[in-house]
Amino acid sequence: MAANNSSTRFRKRRMSEINVVPYIDVMLVLLVIFMVTAPMLTEGVQVELPQTFAKAMAKDQEEPVVVSVDAKGQYYINIGDNTDKALSVEKLITRVAAVMRHRPGQGIYIKGDKSVNYGAVVSIMAQLQKAGVARVGLITQTPDS
């Protein structure tokens, strides 16, 4: 009994010190969780997509180049500076053309708002084709059932 008491006292004295090992342990786990979830927060222009049932297209580039057309008919692209600001068609095409020079044959994706004028999408497709884009993909959304 006495031995037990002494050991308890001994442990208590030890416990009064700050032990940083569990802290590090917990922090590391938290770090891993944050590292894993951080890339999920992807940025992009808010575009309401038309809904269709479509087959998925095979992706062959790590991060696809996406041209967005919002409800007002303004253009955006997800590469270069100021990806959240509307761009003139010329500027957009220079960016796409630069990509096509270094990744010939690369597909470009178009993300058009469902309320956008059909002509706006077709005209941007034509412009892209002039810039050397051989494959254009239209991004749609599967209807919620």
Partner 1 sequence: MLRKSILILFSWLLVNSLAHAILTIEITSGSEGAQPIAIVPFQWVGKGTRPASLKNIIAADLQRSGQFSPLPNKDLISQPHQGTEVKYKTWRALNVGYLVVGKIQVMADDSYQIQFQLLDVFKGRQLAGYSIRSLNSGLRRTAHHISDIIYKTITGEEGAFNTHISYITVTKDKQNKKRYQLAIADADGYNEKIIYSSSQPLMSPSWSPDGTRLAYVSFLNGRPEIYVQNIFSAKKEKLVSFKGLNNAPRWSPDGKHLALTLSKDGNPEIYIMNINSRKLTRITRSYAIDTEPEWLPGGKGLIFTSDRGGSPQLYEVKLNRNKPIGRAQRLTFEGNYNSRASVSNDGRYIAMVHRTQGKFRIAVLERETKHFNVLTNGNLDESPSFAPNGRMIIYATEEKFRGILSVVSVDGRARQRLSFKQGDVREPVWSPYKINK
Partner 2 sequence: MTIWQTIRNNPSVLAWAIIIHVLAFIAIGVSFKSSDPKISTFKKEKVIEAIAVDESKIQEEINKLKKADKRKKRDQKRLQDKAKKAKKDRKKEERKLQAIKKKQKEQEVINKKKSIKENKRLAEIERKQKETQNELNKLEKQQQEKKALLEKEEKDRQEKIAEKKRASEKRKREEHENAEIEKYRYLINNKVSRNWIYLDSYGKGLVCIIEIRLLPSGDVLSANVIQSSGNIAFDRSAELAAMRASPFPVPKSTDLFQRKFRKMNVKFNPTK
Q: Give CA separation, 2 vs 6, 12, 14, in Å.
A: 6, 15, 18
Q: Residue 14: left if φ>0, alpha if ψ -120 to 50, beta else—which one? A: alpha
Binding at 81: pick from partner 2, partner 1, none (beta carbon under 5-8 Å per type): partner 1
Per-residue binding string, partner 2, 57-96, x by CB under 8 A, is xxxxxxx---------------------------------
List, as one string, the DSSP characters of 64-106.
Answer: -EEEEE-TTS-EEESSSS-TTS-B-HHHHHHHHHHHHHHSTT-
CA distance 82 to 87: 9
Asked if 54 touches partner 2 (CB under 8 A), the answer is yes
Told to check if 72 binds partner 1 by CB under 8 A, we report no
C-alpha to C-alpha distance for 77 and 19, rounded to whole angstroms: 51
Instruction: Show the site string, 80-109: x = touches partner 1 by CB under 8 A, - = not.
Output: xx-x----------xx--xx-xxx--x---
Name the site residues for partner 2 (rule: CB under 8 A): 7, 11, 14, 17, 19, 21, 29, 32-33, 36-37, 39-40, 42, 49, 52, 54-63, 109, 111, 137-142
Name the site residues for partner 1 (rule: CB under 8 A): 61-63, 65, 78-81, 83, 94-95, 98-99, 101-103, 106
